[in-house]
Amino acid sequence: MKYVIFASYGNDSIALIQFAHERGLADVHVAYSDTGWAASWWPDRVAIAEDWVQSLGFTPHRISSEGMEALVMRKQAWPRGGGGKYQFCTAALKEEPARAWLALHDPDGEATCMTGVRREESENRRDAPEWVTSSEDHGGRELWQPLVRHTSAMRDQLALKSPLPLLPFRSKECSPCVNARKQELRLLGEQDRNKVRVIEIKAGTNSKGNPRVMFSPKRHNGAVGIDAVIEDSKHDIDDLFVTSTCSGGWCGG
Ligand code: SF4
């Protein structure tokens, strides 16, 4: 395989696939991390995207992982947002399965990996490189991020040529994301809210007797549990901490 695009099928990924098509790249594989934690409606978008990918002559793939519930039960804790060491969902649901998949499908490490990272997206991507000769995140393979200098308007121009509608928010491959801001929490659908509730009940309490809940009560005015967190998000529009995204372009666009 010559190129592997890591796609979440959000706007940036769609723009990147369109870019690869317009550049005439051949032997392109598009890998989607199926975290099992997507928004309830997201699989429909993924199916349309995969049909489109195939129509361009590219090959779609899905990379599966243990999923959020198994991860929380194994760690006896929810991952936390903020991009630090407690955001272990990035490694468990995306990085490690992707590296294992690459080792299996590209054992000699010859593929060029591609992501749709853009510098404009966030503070922690402001210096994202276009080329990395040997990307540690991708098992030492070459990494190409051709959209790093694209503005959102340029990105939209590319994405609008696809059959996928432009999204007014980031990818919902994980919903809710541990980095969800209050605005996103306010709009969380009942099915996605319920799947959090089910795991919170199953996860019980920690050794100090505190409930194992997805979102830190400290960050949500003391709200404990998904229902209270959503209620709080309706009354408080200010996020207490600046949020972060996964490193290395694994999540988001
Ligand atoms: S999208 Fe959010 S919840 Fe999913 S792996 Fe990345 S940080 Fe974790």
The letter for the amino acid at 144 is W
Whether 219 and 241 have beta carbons less than 8 Å apart is answered as yes
Task: Say what the pLDDT of residue 245 is.
Answer: 57
Q: What angle do CA 186, 194, 92 make, to 5 degrees?
A: 90
Task: Say what the pLDDT of residue 177 is.
Answer: 94
Q: Measured between alpha carbons, how far is 28 from 60 in angstroms, rounded to an integer?
A: 9
pTM of the predicted protein model = 0.93
CA of 178 to the centre of ligand 1 (A): 6
Paired tokens of 37: 């934690």
Whether 30 and 105 have beta carbons less than 8 Å apart is answered as no
Q: What angle do CA 114, 69, 218 make, to 5 degrees?
A: 90
Q: Measured between alpha carbons, how far is 145 from 113 in angstroms, rounded to an integer?
A: 8
Domains of the chain with bracketed CATH: 3-173 (3.40.50.620), 182-235 (no CATH)
Give the ligand 1 atom nearest the CA of 92: 5
CA of 15 to the centre of ligand 1 (A): 21
> How far is residue 58 CA from its own chain's centroid?
21
Ligand 1, atom 8, lies closest to the CA of 89
Q: What pLDDT digit, counting tens, does each position of 177-222 carry? A: 999 988 899 999 999 999 999 999 999 999 999 999 999 999 899 9
Give the ligand 1 atom nearest the CA of 8: 1
CA of 81 to the centre of ligand 1 (A): 8
Whether 116 and 12 have beta carbons less than 8 Å apart is answered as yes
Q: What pLDDT digit, counting tens, does each position of 43-57 carry? A: 999 999 999 999 999
In 100-161 the beta strands, taken as DSSP E runs, fall at: 112-114, 131-135, 141-144
Q: How confident is the model at residue 89 (pLDDT cuts 50, 70, 90)?
A: very high
Compute the half-sphere exposure of residue 15: CA atoms within 13 Å on the CB side of its CA: 26
